[in-house]
Amino acid sequence: MGSVSMSGLMGGFTKEFFSGDKVMTQVALLGLKAKQVNLKIQEKGIIAKGIKMYAQENNMTEDEVRSTVSLIAAAALQELAADQPQLQDVAAAFSTFLAKPNIFELAVKAKADKGIGALEMVAASQDPLTLLDKVDIEAKTE
């Protein structure tokens, strides 16, 4: 049917993180740094089944559903990427994946060797786009 896998690289683990002391572990969490995150989506039929089911329920052809979904997703991604040049390649790759699903891979790597700290990540939870200046993003489809 397909798969989604995610992996990453973190740093900043100290002995306090593994101490077993709840307070020390919580303090040590603040010292962790995210260095890289990878996402891989492999389509092996689940999208096709979803498109077929939607088409049947809405009296559409599968091609009409695929075109509509691709158009809506492409428009939304392009709107987001219009103000964020770093996202243009991601938007293009994901649009290609939606049009002809197979494999989509995304790699986000911190520009700083030390990574992105926990406090920066907490702050970014309110506005994730603030991280764009701190990361390199690569996306590709197969």
**pLDDT tens per residue across span 16-38:** 989 999 999 999 999 999 999 99
- Structural domain range at position 111: 2-141
Number of domains in the chain: 1
Residue 81 has pLDDT above 80, yes or no: no
Residue listed under structure tokens 């603030």:
130
How far is Cα 60 from Cα 71, in angstroms, rounded to an integer? 16
Local structure of 75: helix, strand or coil: helix
% pLDDT > 70, the chain? 100
* pLDDT given for residue 135 in this prediction: 96
Burial of 17 per CB tally in 10 Å (0-12, 13-18, 19+): middle
Higher pLDDT, 66 or 52: 52
Confidence of residue 109 (pLDDT cuts 50, 70, 90): very high
Helix (H) or strand (E) run with residue 14 in it: none
